[in-house]
Amino acid sequence: MERTSSKYIYSYSNNRPRYHHAYLVSPLLEMLTVAKSTSNIKPRVLDLGCGNGSLSHVIAQQGYEVVGVDNSPQGVAIAAQSFPECQFIQADIYDLPNPDILHSFDIVLGVEVIEHLLYPKELVRVAKKCLKPDGKLIVTTPYHGYLKNLALAITGKMDKHFTVLWDNGHIKFFSIATMTKLLQSEGYTDINFKFAGRLPYLWKSMLCSSTPPP
């Protein structure tokens, strides 16, 4: 089956951090530190779905070499102008054009991206192609679990949370079990989770690190 991207491309107007940075940046940087190579070489990070580059910039400030990829022309243009310490490529996750990025990254990130994809498994497969043999994939996505969904139902917020009226909104909703199953189906191991935002089991997002197959 041919993988095609949505015709809707998110438009950016500035380089300000996205709303989820407030609760994701701290645990993400902790997870990056754990995943960092033990060598003295500056670790290379591929930020898939980098948007306006604001998160790529934060990561670069921590001593990483960052390459960001996004399919938004406005986002990449803003990112390249605002954050010259990073490299940015306009491309679709389903069709990365640059062969130089293959098997050349210590860490691949997908921050609040996979829930927007019709074919989420493709992000995991692309990461596998871009990572070094001992690399790490880190994916973050909104958390879903039984208690959270029950709380949404009781408080009458199901329609708002799972709205169909948000253009380019969330179309996949992951739990710990389904994220684990997705990664394992592509041969990933050493799967670990962290959580961010709100109370336990009502978390806003989950962060997952894993190791690609050899």
- 112 in Cβ contact with 169 (< 8 Å): no
Instruction: Please tell me the distance from the alpha carbon of residue 102 to that of residue 141, in angstroms, as a whole number.
Output: 24
Look up residue 138 and give its two tokens. Answer: 């880190």
52 assigned to some structural domain: yes
pLDDT at position 30, please?
95
pLDDT at position 39, please?
57
pLDDT at position 172, please?
94
1 assigned to some structural domain: no
Each of the 214 residues of the chain gets a pLDDT tens digit; together they read 345 454 557 778 899 988 889 999 999 999 999 877 655 688 999 999 999 999 999 999 999 999 999 999 999 999 999 999 999 999 998 888 777 788 899 999 999 999 999 999 999 999 999 999 889 999 999 999 999 999 999 999 988 888 888 877 888 999 999 999 999 999 999 999 999 999 999 999 999 999 999 8
Domains of the chain: total: 1
Q: List, in sequence order, every residue forming a beta bridge with 7; answer none if it has no partner.
A: none
158 assigned to some structural domain: yes
Write the CATH number for 130: 3.40.50.150
188 assigned to some structural domain: yes
191 assigned to some structural domain: yes
196 assigned to some structural domain: yes
pTM of the entire predicted model: 0.91
Host H or E run for residue 194: strand 189-196
Instruction: For residue 66, give its domain range.
Output: 41-211
Instruction: Please tell me the distance from the alpha carbon of residue 14 to that of residue 52, in angstroms, as a whole number.
Output: 7
152 assigned to some structural domain: yes
